[in-house]
Homo-oligomer: A and B are copies of this chain.
């Protein structure tokens, strides 16, 4: 547990580019909140600005809002069910129910957006400057190389396939179109589209680009740090969770989910073979 303060603290001050306030004013991102931001920016624009530390252009804002809308909800996901069960158990603490839902936003669900952005960005960073002029053929060549290398490394390409939308995720072409119309379709989306065109050649079956993946590519093309993409997915999902919690308040499913699990519980004694040996070598 580190006790070495960073240089920033040597004077005892805490630097921030977000917000400060005094008796008369509240400053946010270097602007007067009341006079310059309220009514002038949408919430989505502000969310972008808080991370990028610059205001999005109108085109960037439209793409960003669309991506947040695409990620806000996907029905009765495990995270929505967890939030509803938590609200049912502790209705006095709505913050706990939201937090409980967000905590499922890890590697399996909600992680695809960040994983895809990270995967693409690692390739995009190494491309030559001339790649801004490339056509589909050049991108397809890069995509094939990436797919092969990933496959050979025994890893999965993120952002491909969907358990329900097996013939194509309806969000994918719409987000690409919105990015194109607003001038933000850049190398991440171009590479992801190329992966979509070539993946069946390398993988041997058709795994269309999914909506969470295209969201990651579109956000990376906005210049947002790829390490924060999961954060934006979680922001979007917060809106969905609030909708679920409000619905749980009015027409709860929590009691039914609980009783359907509880009443169908069957006691199964532990398998002898797995109880003691997990961490032990043989012969112990």
Contacts and interface: CB of A to CB of B under 8 A. Distances in A.
A203 interface: no
Interface stretch (A139-147, A149-157, A163-171): A163-171
Contacts of A104: 85-86, 88-90, 95-96, 100
A178 interface: yes
A52 interface: yes
A253 B127 CA distance: 34
A16 to B, nearest CB: 6
A85 B88 contact: no
Number of copies: 4
B98 A3 contact: no
A107 B90 contact: yes
Interface string A26-70: 111010111101110111101100111110000000100110111
Given A47-B72, A75-B262, 8 more contacts: A17-B267, A33-B69, A47-B243, A82-B89, A89-B106, A99-B99, A228-B249, A260-B260
